[in-house]
Each structure stands twice: as structure tokens, then as C-alpha cells.
Amino acid sequence: MNIQSFFDLDRNELGRFMENLGERSFRAQQIWQGAYVDLAPSYDEITTLSKPLRAALTEKLPLGPLQVASTIESRDKRTQKSLFRLADGETIEAVLMFYDVRRTICVSTQVGCAIGCAFCATGKSGFTRDLSAGEIVAQVLHFARELSSRGERITNIVYMGMGEPFLNYDAVMKSIRILNDHEGFNLGARSFSISTVGIVPGIERFTAEDSQVNLAISLHAGNDQLRTRLVPINEQYPLGSLMAACRTYVRKTRRRLTFEIALIDGVNDSISDAQEVANLISGMLCHVNLIPLNPIPGSIFRPSPRERVDAYEQKLINAGINTTVRMGRGVKISAGCGQLRGRSR
């Protein structure tokens, strides 16, 4: 097991680590509570531990696998984006979003992305490596401390930042188990959402987990030719196999699936495009989120005008499909879906 930091360990692994240090088992529980309940930013603040033990842990099991390089906030103060520098010098971004009652964190799962979607900034920078479970968890803990200072806490975590979660499956699922642990951070499984571009083996594996974690599919088009243009991985996992995996997921888990469609002006936003999507997902227990494209510098693509978004939405609703238009959050600070780059400004 490749251990980079404390956050790479689940509670049982931490117990074994402490035993190997010659410490009694209750020490692991003290550390676990200090990090995930009290949200201590360093071992020095877990004062139930002796100073020698704190020093040993700082050396052998670092508590922080990332550092904040910069933070930017939207003008309305409803979105905050942080750039994190990892131990090897690579950088990633994550976003905190404020809603009426929800406090949602959008986390990254990879440095860059190998998918190369035509309208996504992350893919344009290429793929460097997967994040460890600890590097994912640490993004959440950073914002959890930020909210705790205001007397608030995280209510939802979405795996929709940089990278394709199902190409880093093990680390993603381990990070969820760590954050879901009832003796630690204790965020309920239904408060997590994973968004995949359609990695069929990942969907099949996730289906077998029979998890309460929410699943979203970045669909974007209802025919293979257009979808392959927008999402190149469609050539490997075309709509026929993707929809088969989606229908199996719904049938076996009895959970509603979310489809996400970024609407692009003159590309995938016509009434006939909407009809193709309706035909594709008809009869499935699902919900569609329509998202007018978040623009990125240098791209030829533009967001669909509101009247075309409304017409698309109405077409799906008329077909009996639950549909919501999601307006972008933090677009002006490049914190919206598809805008994260993980680069210093």
C-alpha cells in the first residue's frame, strides 16, 4: 500500500499502523477523532497525544498531503475555489459552493484528465497522474475546517472536479469510505455524488457495490457520432453499451440515475437533439440536469441561449422525463463544470 499521508489510511489501517509503532489501539481512535471530528490541521493540535508521539507521527505519517497555493472567491461570495499544491509539485483545484442550506464541495480525482472532452478545460492540459485517496480526502478536510470556523459543515461532496473518477476507482471509493466512517467525518452515503463520462466497466463495478452513493452520467448527446465528437471515450464505450450499463444499474440498485448535458450553442441544443436524448433514456428511473456550457478561453464553443435551453427542457418534460436547468456557479472565476485547470494564475 502506497501511504503518502494520514488521510490515505482508513480507520482499521490506522490501527495497524499505530500497533506497528508500538502504540496501544486507543491512540488510533484519538488521532481519528482529532482529524475527522475536531478537524485538527496538525498533530500538534491533537493534545491527547504526547509531544514525542506527535513528533513521530509528523515525521512518519504526515497529516497534510497538500498545501493551499491560492484561493479566489466569486463576487457574490457563493463560490470559492482553491488551488492546491501536492507533495510532488503538481496542482489541482477544488470548489466550495454555498446554496440556501447546502454546502457542497466539488473535488478533483486526478491531476489533469485523459478523456479530452472537446469543451472541457481540464482535458486540454492532459493527464499527469491519479490522486491518492488521501489527496482527495484532504481537499474535503480543507474546506471542512473553513466552514467549521463559521459554525457550518459540509453537507454534500461531488466528484465532478478534475479527472474521471472511474479511471481512479479504488482511490475514489476509499475516500468515500473514509469520509463516510461513522466514528469520524460521518457524512452520509447519499450526500456523495460521483460523475462519470461513461466508463462502462466502472459503472458495472459500482453497480455491484450496491452503494447509496449517487451516480451521474455526463451524456451530452443522444447519438454516437455527435457524442464521440464531444466525448472521445464514446468510441470505446458507445451509447449502446453505456445505456445497457445504466439500465442495469437502475434495475439492480433501484436508485435514480442523473444524466448531465452541457448545452452548446448550435452543436447539441436543438429540438431534434432533445428528442434523441428522450428516446435514449425513455422509461428509465432518471433525472436530467441541463447545464448551459461554461465557456473556457480559446474554445470555439459557446453556451446555448436561454430560449433554446428552455425549449430543450420542455421537450424532455413533455416526454415524461424529470428535467432541471442548472445555471453555472463560479463561472467568472473559472470554477464551473469543465473550467478547472489546476494551474497557477
Strands, sheet with 66-73, edge to edge from the N-terminal-most edge strand: 66-73, 79-86, 91-98, 103-106, 156-159, 192-196, 214-218, 257-263, 286-292, 322-325
Neighbours of 344 (CB within 10 A): 9
Closest CA to 258 of 149, 155, 158, 136: 158
Neighbours of 130 (CB within 10 A): 19
Per DSSP bridges, beta strands 110-112 and 103-106 are: unpaired
Closest CA to 220 of 282, 310, 281: 281
For residue 235, indicate whether it is catalytic: no
Closest CA to 136 of 217, 38, 66, 203: 66
In 160-201, beta strands by DSSP E: 192-196
- 282 to 4, 164, 228: CA distances (angstroms): 45, 26, 21
Q: Which of 23, 93, 164, 260 is catalytic?
A: 93
**What is the DSSP-derived secondary structure letter of residue 294?**
P
For residue 337, indicate whether it is catalytic: yes
Strand partners, 92: 84
Rounded to an integer, what is the distance from CA 314 to the centroid of its chain? Answer: 29
Q: Which of 106, 120, 246, 337 is catalytic?
A: 337
* 151 Cβ neighbours under 8 A, 6+ residues apart: none
- Give me the active site residues, please: 93, 337
